[in-house]
């Protein structure tokens, strides 16, 4: 698998997202996956709020409105909100102010719609049939330091491959294994794209042998299959015991 990060000018609020991606790509081969950071999508879609005071309280107020559920910042040693946003655990509902100038950037309102629009545009613009699009964000993992790239939306390929019932090397059938291809691709891409001042919010992945391309956007069923209800999650006992406030 090859990951090629793409440098762009500094992105500002209201940029034309599709034109930005088109102009940043010299060419696009069949079976490529175009990776776009959620922050670029948010800035181009004007999913931002102007920083007024820059205080924790200001960000927390915004995050509590954005989150589907949250654990109050008073429980955090670091004065952070643990939230659920777009069905996943996130700090401060994904709101961030790095590389955004005078704004807080939110996660895209409908990341799957954004991914679909990018996918449809690039297939037509570059005349390719087998193409994937991936929108990423950076997240932390419990019990480990450091950020990791994570998928918040995809289009044009199977994000989840079910291996349940497939025999392992010793003939034992796998009981629970499902491979989250989108998450693996996101983690690899964000390593190359960088987290600081690299100015590489786009990337193109090629030669990804485990990707199964599709000639359609993901269905509602496909998207729902990526999510797990807290009561069904292996971490459910911990998550369900947390003092969540739901919106």
The per-residue pLDDT for 99 is 87
The per-residue pLDDT for 138 is 95
Average pLDDT over residues 105-120: 97
pLDDT tens per residue, range 163-198: 999 999 999 999 989 999 999 999 999 999 999 898
Q: How far apart are CA 156 and CA 244, in angstroms?
A: 35
pLDDT tens per residue, range 34-75: 999 999 999 999 999 999 999 999 999 999 999 999 999 999
Q: Is the pLDDT of residue 32 over 90?
A: yes
Q: How far apart are CA 195 and CA 9, in angstroms?
A: 16
Q: How far apart are CA 58 and CA 133, in angstroms?
A: 33
The per-residue pLDDT for 26 is 86
CATH of residue 49: 3.30.1330.100
The per-residue pLDDT for 84 is 97
Cα-based torsion angle of the residue sequence 25, 26, 32, 34 in order, rounded to the nearest 10 degrees: 0
Q: Residue 63: give the domain boundaries.
A: 2-19+28-246
Mean pLDDT of the chain: 96
pLDDT tens per residue, range 67-110: 999 999 999 999 999 999 999 999 999 999 988 889 999 999 99
| Model confidence band, residue 221 (pLDDT cutoffs 50, 70, 90) | very high
Q: How many domains does the chain have?
A: 1
């Amino acid at each position: 698998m090859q990951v090629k990060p793409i440098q762009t000018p500094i992105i500002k609020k209201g940029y034309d997202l599709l034109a930005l991606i088109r102009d940043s790509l010299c060419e696009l081969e069949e079976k490529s996956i175009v990776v776009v950071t959620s922050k670029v999508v948010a800035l181009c879609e004007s999913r931002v709020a102007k920083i007024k005071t820059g205080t924790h309280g200001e960000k927390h107020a915004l995050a509590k409105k954005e989150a589907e559920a949250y654990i109050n910042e008073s429980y955090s040693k670091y004065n952070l909100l643990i939230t659920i946003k777009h069905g996943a655990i996130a700090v401060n509902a994904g709101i961030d102010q790095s590389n955004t100038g005078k704004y807080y950037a939110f996660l895209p309102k409908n990341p799957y719609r954004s991914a679909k629009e990018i996918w449809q545009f690039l297939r037509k613009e570059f005349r390719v049939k087998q193409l994937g699009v991936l929108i990423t964000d950076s997240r932390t993992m419990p019990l480990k330091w450091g950020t990791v790239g994570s998928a918040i939306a995809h289009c044009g390929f199977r994000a989840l491959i079910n291996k349940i019932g497939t025999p392992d090397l010793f003939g034992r059938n796998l009981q629970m294994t499902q491979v989250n291809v989108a998450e693996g691709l996101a983690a690899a891409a964000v390593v190359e794209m960088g987290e600081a001042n690299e100015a590489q919010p786009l990337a193109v992945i090629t030669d990804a042998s485990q990707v199964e391309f599709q000639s359609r956007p993901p269905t509602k069923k496909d998207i729902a299959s990526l999510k797990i209800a807290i009561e069904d999650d292996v971490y459910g006992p911990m998550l369900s015991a947390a003092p969540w406030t739901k919106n």
